[in-house]
Amino acid sequence: MSQQQEEIPVAETAVDDVVEEAVDDAIADATVDATVDAEATPVRPPSKPGLSPSRANDFLQCPQMFRFRVIDRLPEPPSPAAARGTLVHSVLERLFDLPAPERTLEAAHGLVPSQWDELREHSPQVTEMFPDAESLAEWLTSAESLLGTYFTLEDPTRLEPRERELAVSTELEDGPQLRGIVDRVDVAPNGWVRVVDYKTGRSPRAGFESSALFQMRFYAFVIWRTRGVLPRRLQLEYLGDGVVVQHEPTEAEMVTFEARIRSIWAGIQDTARSGEWRPRTSKLCDWCSFKALCPAFGGTPPEIPEGAVERATGIQVAQVA
Ligand code: SF4
């Protein structure tokens, strides 16, 4: 893996040669350019338990947290950082609706109010995060600052993404349905595929990249399985500190990844059978939405709703009377 801002041919797709597709269409019918996606299948409602990279990481981080989030589906309060991530992602997505020469920082900043309105409409509770107009203005300015960093990493006037906010999924035989949303897919004239993910936080310190790389390998694996094309490059763009992390996956790595994801899924199912969703304390507990309910901190988890374990894991368990 390298941490550099290297340009690759994928980014240089001629604007005139590319047909833009709206993300809503891409997600709704999952039709994708035939040159890269002849094998793609439409994204349908899940027919079996699903696993996303975030939820797999949740289980690895703390089985108890996985239970609260995935089995119990407990609500979590909105956080300014998460909401800012949503806002910045939607601005970057919409930015590519504009003709290439108009994709300027000013245009990106100009999209912030409308995307904030959409976010509020979709998740009215986000407004509760801001006690006054001043704190909201400060938060919006911090989102604009992240957009400013984006423009130091890439020149969107020279890019023509093939996909944005692309829903991908594949079913593992005897395993879960793997699914996720890919922020951006670029395809070079020579067919090379680059998967891009925007991160609104800071880049991980050396030695702590495994969780981010896990997510990118997950996307690469799903694209490889559904399209028969292994992405040439995986690219994480950290807008918190202006770092680009790149990785070039190999087929051997994908085989290892499948074994890894099967092992995680086996761990989830074993835990579901035993009912032992153990807390695993760490520094991250301070950011955990469920700390008050966590047995490791004196809390009492609620009863698991009937059928919730099977829905999430495929494992039938006897309900405690
Ligand atoms: S507080 Fe810590 S140990 Fe408890 S559920 Fe959250 S992450 Fe797990």
Model confidence pLDDT, tens digit, residues 285-305 = 999 999 999 999 999 999 999
Percent with pLDDT over 70 in the chain: 84
pLDDT score for 78: 85
- What pLDDT, on the 0 to 100 scale, is given for residue 228? 92
Across all residues in the chain, what is the average pLDDT? 85
User: Counting beta carbons within 10 angstroms of the beta carbon of residue 25, is it exposed (0 to 12), middle (13 to 18) or buried (19 or more)?
Assistant: exposed
Query: What are the pLDDT digits (tens) for 175-185?
Result: 999 999 999 99
Contact 32, 208 (CB under 8 A): no
Q: For a pocket test of ligand 1, which of 277, 286, 288, 300 has the largest count of ligand atoms closer than 8 A to its C-beta?
A: 288
**Closest atom, ligand 1, to C-alpha of 289:** 6
In the reported structure, the alpha carbon of residue 282 is separated from the centroid of ligand 1 by a whole-number distance in angstroms of 8
End-to-end CA distance of the chain: 51
Pocket of ligand 1 (CB under 6 A): 62, 64-65, 279-281, 284-285, 288, 290-291, 294, 296-297
pLDDT recorded at residue 213: 87
Measured in Å, residue 281 CA sits from the centre of ligand 1 at 6
The closest-lying atom of ligand 1 relative to the alpha carbon of residue 291 is 1
- Separation of CA 298 and ligand 1 centre (Å): 11
Q: Answer yes or no: is pLDDT of 84 > 90.
A: yes
Among 211, 105, 90, which Cα is nearest to 153's? 105
Confidence of residue 21 (pLDDT cuts 50, 70, 90): very low
Number of the ligand 1 atom closest to the C-alpha atom of 62: 8
Q: What is the pTM of this model?
A: 0.81
Give 21 Cα–ligand 1 centroid separation in angstroms: 41
Domains in the chain: ranges and CATH: 2-30+43-257 (3.90.320)
pLDDT at position 200: 96
- Length of the chain equals 321
Q: What residues does 243 pair with on adjacent strands?
A: 238
Residue 5 pLDDT exceeds 70 = no
Q: How far is the CA of 285 from the centre of ligand 1 (A)?
A: 5
For residue 187, what pLDDT is reported?
95
